[in-house]
Structure 1
Amino acid sequence: MRILALVPGGIGEQILFFPTLEDLKTQYPNALIDVIVEPRAKIAYRVCPHVHEVLMFDYQDRNGLADYLNLLGMIRDREYDVAFTLDKRWTLGLLFWLNGIPLSIGYQTSTAWFLSNPVPQKTEQYTAYMYHDLIQGLGIQTPCPPLKIAVPKDDISWAEGEQKRLLLQESGYILLYGGFGESYPVPQWSNIINNMQQKQPSIPIVLLQWAGNEAWVKMVQESCPNLKVIKPSGVGRLAAMIAGANLMVCTDSTPLQLAVAVGTYTVALFGQTKATKRLPPSQDKYIGIQSATYNLGDIQATTVLEKIWRS
């Protein structure tokens, strides 16, 4: 059996889809599972053992007829038996129909004309659960597995080397990630850092530089000198560094999803995005702080510190 999944979105969205891929592999252990993702998200599959082939299509681009014909050919060449799509555009369902894929599964919409087995979309739940609902289109009613990843040994070795270089091995460390989109004010980060250094002076605080947040790292370093910085060059190395941390404090991001996947205690700040959609329910290890105004900057440092010391 060959199974295809069309998964738009960045690295974080791919990680949230990993439990669905895992369950598909459990239900059909001999199946070959391929995904079609955006170029920016391909690196996510370094830490996913369930996928046979990662193909690329830029869902966000202004795709013309030639782009869809190329996608049509890519799908046709592999003769899939089952296809899933997280993208609700009717044109992708049409591609499945034109390819003669026996089972095509996506979310129920008013334009899901070409899907053989549409599934209701429950948007208010944890996103990994919402994605996992799609396998109900195959008559599967199993619970959604937790997020898990498989970090390659050479990435673990790299992280161990960095921990040794930064003198982190004996004391452990706290990892901070401020992201690069919706930002939490640097003065608030400074308050958090100063308080943590006063209460736990023996535990190093490490800034995570990843995916375009160099400006944030520079501003925090200027405000709080002598902080350590880690710059992992891939998802596996990033995950390995997060796995070694005692605690991570971050905004909604790829590092957050990796922290959940590796089981690191995490305090996550949310503005416009709902915490209930990005964190698994009934999990004390992952604490979400939701801005009451949906403005990330309105979360007080004292609120964050209360959650940190509770964790």
Structure 2
Amino acid sequence: MAAVAGVHASLLLTSPIVSNNPKISPSFYSSNAHKHNLTKFFTPNSDSGKGNGNGCHLRAIKAKKNPWLDPFDYGEDPDMEYGELFADGKQDAEYPRPPDNPDSEYGFLKFPKGYNVEIASLGAMLRGDVRVCVCMVAGGVYENLLFFPVIQLLRDRYPGVRIDMIATARGKQTYEMNKNVRYANVYDVEKEFVVPADYMEAVGMLKNRYYDLVISTKLAGLGHSIFMFLTSARTKISYVYPNVNAAGAGLFLTEALKAPQLDLADGGYNMYKELIEQLAQPGRNVPRQPVPPLRISISRKLREVVETKYKDAGLMKGEFLVIHGIESDSAATMQSRGDCDSLLPIKFWADLSRSLRSVKVLFIIPHERERENIMEAVGEDSYIVFITTPGQLAALINDSIGVVATNTAAIQLANALDKPSVALFSSIKKAKLFIPNATEKRCTIIASETGKLADINMEDAKVAIKDVFEKSMVAA
């Protein structure tokens, strides 16, 4: 026992943990000696009156790290954002797949997508990494435009994710204003009777791209949920019907979001609220993802094309006011499915434009046959531009002083570009639904008192336009 005690004492003397006090001896641990040596850790408080009642402070001895315990412990990593574990935090922006080396002496070896299990499966199972994602959006230009915050949310939550879109022919045009989208394919998920060849082609295309996440805004029943199940994606998220039509759909989906109404477009600007709530959920050491605002990007090619159009009409950049929302039977009106009463006849716009003297008014027509009607109602010297795509409309709004429109995509594009606008709505309820926080978005709301857009007060619209645009032109 004496030999063991001697070895224990020698270890205490040589250990760096207690090396700050070289006077400690084995007798310190004897019966009552250590009680008297505790006074060495107390020093009189001579500088200030702080401390305990005896005027003493407890002096802590900082233990030094023993390099023999962990030679690879270099302290805290200043660049570590989420945590030490692999399962913590977000995924890396770089794709985990190693680059192919065709010059290797062992030949050109390439793993098929989805089969490089040694690298891909760990992050996918522990963190739920999403490397490739596809979103199927139902509706036209307006509905796809309001989906842009969801796309940006996916990019922020899953760094490096590649996002593809499935939309209608009109909805596909919207994604030329979104730099986060890789591919945009045309397939109408709401079509009731699909040709079997088109159905199998869509399934094969989705299956061959090995998606980790599939999102759908179509209200899914049993048929659409099976369509998503056939893509072989790991995670499948979709809205389902709020009634009995959703029976059996949840069996083939990872997450089934019950729609608040039969048409999501009735929810206005926040029509994808339930989907955003699902995607923004916090993870391991990852806080809840904030919802980004609606933003768009306009390419240089679009700017050049649109600049040629309005210059041919006799206008220059920054001197015209855009008017959008002319009543027409064209499919390019860009109105929302949640607000069918959102177009006004040419006579209304003609009377409104006559009251604007210091501002040049540019009429946007969705079809060439409307040109003659406007020239008859307004005059031969009116400014008219034919535009059918949302990208060209956004480039035109970007070069204007502002927008006067009904509830069409032009209002949302003006808000995304921080342009002043005057919005005409059939009711104040619709206005608050589609343009929340209108004051922050520099948008003036003019609503009808009867619930019909045709009964909107012309004088209120004229006063609002003069206050917003004519005064700014005089100041400029």
TM-score over 0.5 for the alignment?
yes
Identify the structure with bigger relative contact order (alpha carbons < 8 Å, sequence gap 6+): 1
In structure 2, which of residues 350, 353, 359 is the aligned counterpart of residue 190 of structure 1? 350
Distance verdict in 2 for CA 1:65–1:30, change over 3 Å: same
CA offsets 1:83-127 (integer angstroms, 9 cap, x no match) = 111100222222222333222112354514232223354569864
Supply the distance in 1 between the matched residues of 2:407 and 2:364 (Cα, whole angstroms): 14
RMSD of aligned C-alpha atoms? 2.7
Question: Shift of the alpha carbon at 1:34?
Answer: 0.9
Higher mean alpha-carbon deviation, 250-259 vs 275-284, is at 275-284
Residue 20 (structure 1) shift: 0.7
Write out per-residue CA displacement over residues 24-77 of structure 1, whole angstroms, 9 at most, x where no aligned residue. Answer: 112112111111101222111111111111112123433246143333222211
User: Equivalent of 2:275, from 134, 137, 140?
Assistant: 134
The match for 1:173 among 305, 317, 320 is 320
Distance 2:450 2:265 in 1: 18
**Contact residue 220 and residue 239 of structure 2 kept, 8 A:** no
Q: Which has the larger radius of gyration?
A: 2
Listed as ranges, the matches of 1:1-311 within 5 Å are 1-64=131-194, 66=196, 67-90=198-221, 91-107=223-239, 109-110=242-243, 111=246, 112-113=249-250, 114-121=252-259, 127-131=268-272, 133-138=274-279, 139=281, 141-169=288-316, 172-179=319-326, 180=328, 183-197=343-357, 200=358, 203-210=359-366, 212=367, 214-225=368-379, 226-232=381-387, 234-271=389-426, 274-282=430-438, 283-311=440-468
Alignment check: 8 A CA contact 2:448 2:457 kept: no
Alpha carbons 2:137, 2:167 under 8 Å: kept: yes
d(CA) in 2 for partners of 1:124 and 1:79? 30
Deviates more, 1:161-170 or 1:148-157: 161-170
Compared with structure 1, are the counterparts of its residues 88 and 126 closer, same or farther at alpha carbon in structure 2 (3 Å cutoff)? Answer: closer
For residues 47 and 136 of structure 1, do their structure 2 counterparts lie closer, same or farther at Cα, with a shift above 3 Å needed?
Answer: same
Shift of 1:166: 4.2
Q: Distance in 2 between matches of 1:142 and 1:46?
A: 25
Tell me which moved more, 230-239 or 16-25. 230-239
Q: AA paired with 2:294?
A: L
> TM-score when scaled to structure 2?
0.58
- What's the % identity of the aligned pairs? 25
Query: Which is further off, 261-270 or 31-40?
Result: 261-270
**1:153 offset after TM fit, Å?**
0.7
Amino acid paired to 1:117: E
TM-score between both structures, scaled by the size of structure 1: 0.86
Deviation at 1:234, TM superposition (A): 4.1
Cα separation, partners in 2 of 1:307 and 1:153, compared to 1, 3 Å:
same
- Structure 2 residues without counterparts, runs of 5 or longer: 1-130, 283-287, 330-340, 469-476
Bigger share in helix = 1
Within 1, Cα distance between the matches of 2:315 and 2:374?
A: 20
Q: CA deviation at 1:233?
A: 6.0
User: What's the secondary structure of 2:150's corresponding residue?
Assistant: helix
